[in-house]
């Protein structure tokens, strides 16, 4: 048996596929009997297909926690204190779940955004992830991954946009985008 080591994985870049890549990994992990948690930092209002798919698998296999409410204004003085509070709450929850060893894989969905918006301290996140239990895999998604997170990570993939239907005016499609 190969040695088990929790990986720190980052999916970033401007192209589509960061969250879906994390979900694909989660699907694979569940098949191997791993327990998965996804904490969503921004999502909260829209209903994504993966929420129902995770329920079909069962909470004991895969759980998704939308802990945001979607942002209207972000960054600097315009950040709504309520979004800031939800963001801190999502981080504290995610960190506790990672340290609690209940899950084998924890996805911090869109955490890169909230760090780049200045809503979460990158030093604090990097320190906690560096000190996490050794066997726990963590995936961080979102554009503009912080350089310190990239440095700590074992695997970093940057999605590059080659084409996106949005540029042709085609809007989000059910089952593909949500």
Q: Which residues bind ligand ATP (CB under 6 A)?
A: 14-20, 141, 143, 159, 161, 164, 166, 172, 177-178
Q: CB nearer to ligand ATP: give 8 or 140.
A: 140
Give the residue nearest to Mg ion (CB): 19
> Environment class of residue 10 by beta-carbon count within 10 Å: exposed (0-12), middle (13-18) or buried (19+)?
buried
20's contact among Mg ion, ligand ATP, none, with CB below 5 to 8 A by partner kind, is ligand ATP
> What is the binding site for Mg ion (CB under 5 A)?
18-19
Q: In whole angstroms, how far apart are CA 133 and each of 9, 48, 79?
A: 15, 30, 33
Q: CB nearer to ligand ATP: give 16 or 99.
A: 16
Q: In whole angstroms, how far apart are CA 28 and each of 36, 157, 167, 168?
A: 10, 18, 31, 33
We find the least distance from the C-beta atom of residue 84 to ligand ATP, in angstroms, to be: 20
We find the least distance from the C-beta atom of residue 117 to ligand ATP, in angstroms, to be: 13
We find the least distance from the C-beta atom of residue 14 to ligand ATP, in angstroms, to be: 6
We find the least distance from the C-beta atom of residue 29 to Mg ion, in angstroms, to be: 18
58's contact among Mg ion, ligand ATP, none, with CB below 5 to 8 A by partner kind, is none
128's contact among ligand ATP, Mg ion, none, with CB below 5 to 8 A by partner kind, is none
Q: CB nearer to ligand ATP: give 1 or 171.
A: 171
CB atoms within 10 A of CB 39: 23
Per-residue exposure over 138-166, b if at least 16 CB sit within 10 Å of its own CB, e if not: bbbbbbebbeebbebbeebeebeeeeeee
CB distance 161 to 14 below 8 Å? yes
We find the least distance from the C-beta atom of residue 73 to ligand ATP, in angstroms, to be: 18
């Amino acid at each position: 048996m190969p040695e088990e080591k929790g990986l720190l994985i980052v999916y970033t870049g401007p192209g589509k596929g960061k969250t879906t890549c994390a979900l694909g990994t989660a699907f694979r992990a569940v098949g191997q009997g791993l327990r998965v948690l996804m904490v969503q930092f921004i999502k909260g209002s829209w209903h994504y297909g993966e929420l129902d798919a995770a329920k079909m698998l069962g909470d004991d296999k895969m759980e998704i926690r939308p802990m945001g409410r979607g942002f209207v204004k972000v960054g600097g003085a315009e950040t709504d204190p309520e979004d800031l509070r939800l963001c801190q709450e999502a981080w504290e929850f995610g960190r506790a779940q990672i340290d609690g060893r209940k899950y084998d894989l924890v996805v911090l969905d869109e955490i890169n955004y909230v760090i780049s918006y200045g809503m979460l301290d990158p030093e604090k996140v990097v320190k906690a992830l560096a000190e996490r239990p050794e066997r726990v895999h963590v995936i961080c998604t979102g554009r503009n991954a912080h350089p310190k997170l990239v440095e700590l990570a074992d695997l970093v993939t940057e999605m590059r946009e080659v084409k996106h239907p949005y540029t042709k005016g085609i809007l989000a499609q059910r089952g593909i985008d949500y």
